[in-house]
A and B are shown apart, each in its own frame.
Chain A
Amino acid sequence: MKPLVLGVGSPFAADRVGWCAVEALQLRLGDALAFECCDRPGAHLLSLLRGRPCVAIIDALLGVTAGSLHVLQPSDLARDAGTAVHGFGVADALGLAEALGDLPPRLVLIGIGVGAGEVLPEVDWDALAAQLTNLLA
């Protein structure tokens, strides 16, 4: 089974950057990987992870330099049940998957800084593709 690259976000403004990353990576790494975009998946993220040996999740990082790339650990993500969709965001979904033993054996988290989150940032997609290739090697 090919590694799955999941772009998380929504269709608008800076939150779209995870989807844009998937489009850019499909052009550069297409055949080697599987790709999917998801719109604020909440608990649905668990069903996307289940049974997958390797998953890379790419999401926007609010309040971080626009366009900067960051490799994260699940523990880096703040679980903020007060602000995510219906109190259940990516960090909560990963925490729940871990509690249920459903995390993929290999999980890569990449955050893309979006500053204040108002506009889609300029991103070096070649650098992202190179970084992801190294992480999945």
Chain B
Amino acid sequence: MNKREIAIHVPVLARVEGEGALDLHISGDRIDHLHLRIFEPPRLFEKFLEGRSFRDVPDMVARICGICPVAYQMSAAHAIEQAFGMDPGPWVRDMRRLFYCGEWLESHALHVHLLAAPDFLGFPTAIAMAQKFPEEVRRGLQLQELGNAIVRLLGGRSVHPVGARIGGFSHAPSPEAAADLLARLEAVVPDAEALVHWVASLPMPDDVQAFTCVSLRHPQEYPMNEGRLVSNHGLDMDIRSYRERFSEFHVPHSTSLHSTLDGKPYLVGPLARLNLNMDRLPPAVAKNLAATGIRFPSSNMFHSALARAVEIHLALLEAIRILENYRPAQPHIAPTPRAGVGYGCTEAPRGFLWHRFEMDGQGRVVNTEIVPPTAQNQARIEEDLRRSLLAFGLDQPEEALRLRAETVIRNYDPCISCSTHFLRLNLERQ
């Protein structure tokens, strides 16, 4: 019997956003202790929002995340508009989907090329990888930059955009600006198709697990801004019923809340979305994915990276479709505040982002709840780490265990600052 005892401490997890750590204690062939420690201080946005006008909310919630501000703005806008009983109409709906395409493009391209791919190709950093794979990295940066350009078109700037408001957008882009961006997007469609095949060819671990996937599902389209919450285990609920089945709770080692569905961990994000919405892919995206030979739904957690590449292709084609039909219009409708409660749930790049806003009759926030995707994935990450390391073999060298653990965590593209409501590995082996 293996009597080796080791303790691995990763005090700073690289290539993730925010601050957290992993503590791992192994005794022989058993994991005694595995904690994803999140010590970044709580950010208290829910309390900051109380008493603020609906007009302030989009700019405030955008500050929760530098990578996915659009998601926060969209979930909040939908929730407040529901509370006010307003529908901004089809033009705003299309522009919000375009806005979201930009965020998926920039966030996914960043993660695939700069954060995840070095793990699969055996490089310590994206910089080291770029010396061997310069064209692939350039392609990724170009796709990311086009995502930023879409966000700038509607949001005025790519980081913490300011163009979104309750009821729509502050301005309608000019036809010339939309046409210029459309031409740039059309030029890179072959790059997005090639990216899917490149990611499918990366040497990923074959780590098949059983897990519960949860995402939005829409009757006609791949989900971004709207839909019902569904799972691969029969869940199918209105977003307003979220609290009936989902629970959030504190654990001693994390400032981020853990989440469960019916008491069990679950996965949100691109793999969950793709597994649950394969039949909503545009035909060109489905055909390109099928040509890789990799089948979805997939139980290999590392296929999250491929799911991101597929969603890059999808977001690009969706953005092109919307821009081909673009006509400027009145960019917003004026809100009429009324007291009430509203719910918003949209698909951030890392998974669904659920908001509940209670508003008063003057349009001020009475209270709010914000449930970000990385917090929802935390319990699943710990579950995945335990299973992955056991499958990898606890008798592996300490450095190999550390790298595998970090690879598993980075595969989720955790956004720790958002979740604080998150990494440094501390491994003890005895």
In the complex, which residues 1-53 of chain B have their Cβ closer than 8 Å to any Cβ of chain A?
Answer: 12-17, 19
Closest chain B CB from A101 CB (angstroms): 8
Task: Name the B residues within 8 Å of A96 (CB-CB).
Answer: 114, 126-127, 130, 137
A100 is an interface residue with CB less than 8 A from chain B: yes
Determine if A44 and B134 form an interchain contact, defined as CB atoms under 8 angstroms apart.
no
CB 8 Å contact bits of A40-71 with B (1 = contact, 0 = none): 11111011000000000000000000000000
Report the Cα distance A70→B58, complex, angstroms.
38
B82 at the interface (CB under 8 A from A): no
B67 engages A82 (CB within 8 Å): no
Q: Is A15 an interface residue (CB 8 A)?
A: no
Q: Determine how close the nearest CB of chain B comes to the CB of A18; give it in whole angstroms.
A: 14
B19/A99 in contact, CB under 8 A: no
| Among candidates A44, A81, A86, A98, residue contacting B148 with C-beta atoms closer than 8 Å | A44
**Which B residues from 326 to 382 make CB contacts under 8 A with A?**
none
Contact B415 A44 (CB under 8 A): no
B391 to chain A minimum Cβ distance, whole angstroms, is 26
Check if B110 sits within 8 Å of A46, measured CB to CB: no
CB <8 Å contact, A86 and B67: yes
Contact check, A40 vs B19: say whether CB atoms are below 8 A apart.
no
Find A43's partner among B16, B66, B114 (CB 8 Å cutoff): B114
> Measured between alpha carbons, how far is A100 from B134 in the docked complex, in Å?
6
Closest to A11 in B: B160
| Structural contact, B115 and A86, CB atoms closer than 8 A | yes
Is A83 an interface residue when CB atoms closer than 8 A count as contact? yes
Q: Which residues of B contact A101 (CB under 8 A)?
A: 134
**In this assembly, does B138 line the interface, its C-beta being within 8 Å of a C-beta of chain A?**
yes
Complex formed: what's the CA distance from A86 to B130 in Å? 18
The answer to whether the Cβ of B255 comes within 8 Å of any Cβ in the partner chain is no
**B415 & A86 in contact (Cβ 8 Å cutoff):** yes
Count of chain A residues near B, Cβ 8 A: 23
**Which chain A positions have C-beta within 8 A of B126?**
88, 92, 96
- B158 at the binding interface (Cβ < 8 Å): yes
Given contacts A88-B114, A96-B127, contact A82 B12 (CB under 8 A): yes
Q: Does A95 contact B (CB under 8 A)?
A: yes
- Size band of the interface chain B makes with A: 20 to 34
CB distance from A130 to the nearest CB of B (A): 31
Q: Is B204 an interface residue (CB 8 A)?
A: no
- B19 near A92 with CB under 8 A, answer no
Contact in complex: A39, B157 (CB < 8 Å): yes
Within 8 A of B (CB), among A83-115: 83, 85-88, 92, 95-96, 98-101
Question: Closest approach, in angstroms, between the C-beta of B259 and any C-beta of chain A?
Answer: 22
B288 at the interface (CB under 8 A from A): no
B14-A81 in contact (CB<8A): yes
Task: Judge whether B127 and A82 touch: CB under 8 Å.
Answer: no
Chain B residues within an 8 Å CB radius of A83: 19
A85 → B minimal CB distance (Å): 5
Q: Please indicate the chain A residues that have their CB under 8 angstroms from the CB of B17 in the complex.
A: 85-87
Residue numbers in A under 8 Å from B158 (CB-CB): 44
Contact B66 A40 (CB under 8 A): yes
The A-B contact count (CB < 8 A) is 70
Most buried by A among B17, B141, B424: B141
CA distance A88 to B424 in the complex (A): 17
B159 near A: Cβ within 8 Å?
A: yes
Is A99 a contact of B127 with CB atoms below 8 Å?
yes
User: CB-nearest residue of chain A relative to B113?
Assistant: A43
Q: How far is the CA of A121 from the CA of B276 in the complex (A)?
A: 52
Report the separation of the CA atoms of residues A99 and B130 in the bound assembly, to the nearest whole angstrom.
Answer: 6
Least Cβ–Cβ distance between B67 and chain A, in angstroms: 5
CA distance A53 to B333 in the complex (A): 46
Complex Cα–Cα for A76 and B359 (A): 50
Determine the distance from Cα of A82 to Cα of B134 in the docked complex, in whole angstroms.
24
Which of B13, B114, B145, B157 sits near A47, CB closer than 8 Å?
A: B145
Residues from chain B with Cβ under 8 Å of A82 in the complex: 12-14, 16, 19, 424
Whether, in the assembled complex, B220 has its beta carbon less than 8 Å from a beta carbon of chain A, the answer is no
| Residue B325 interfacial (CB < 8 Å) | no
Tell me how far the C-beta of A66 lies from the nearest C-beta in chain B, rounded to whole angstroms: 24
- A82 to B, closest residue via Cβ: B12
Known: A39-B160, A43-B114. A100 touches B138 (CB 8 A): yes
The answer to whether A87 touches B141, judged by C-beta atoms less than 8 angstroms apart, is no
Q: With an 8 A cutoff between CB atoms, is B144 at the interface?
A: yes
B131 at the A interface (CB under 8 A): yes
Q: Does the CB pair B141–A42 fall under 8 Å?
A: no
Cβ–Cβ contact A47 & B141, under 8 A: yes
> Can you sample 25 A-B contacts with CB below 8 Å?
A40-B159, A43-B110, A43-B141, A44-B144, A44-B145, A44-B148, A47-B141, A79-B125, A81-B14, A81-B125, A82-B19, A85-B66, A87-B15, A87-B16, A88-B114, A88-B126, A92-B125, A96-B126, A96-B130, A96-B137, A99-B128, A99-B130, A99-B134, A100-B134, A100-B137
Q: Which 9 A-B pairs have the closest CB atoms?
A: A82-B12, A99-B130, A81-B14, A86-B17, A87-B15, A95-B127, A39-B159, A47-B145, A99-B131
* A interface residues (Cβ-Cβ under 8 A, vs B): 39-44, 46-47, 79, 81-83, 85-88, 92, 95-96, 98-101
The interface of chain B, by Cβ under 8 A from chain A, is 12-17, 19, 66-67, 110, 114-115, 125-128, 130-131, 134, 137-138, 141, 144-145, 148, 157-160, 415, 424
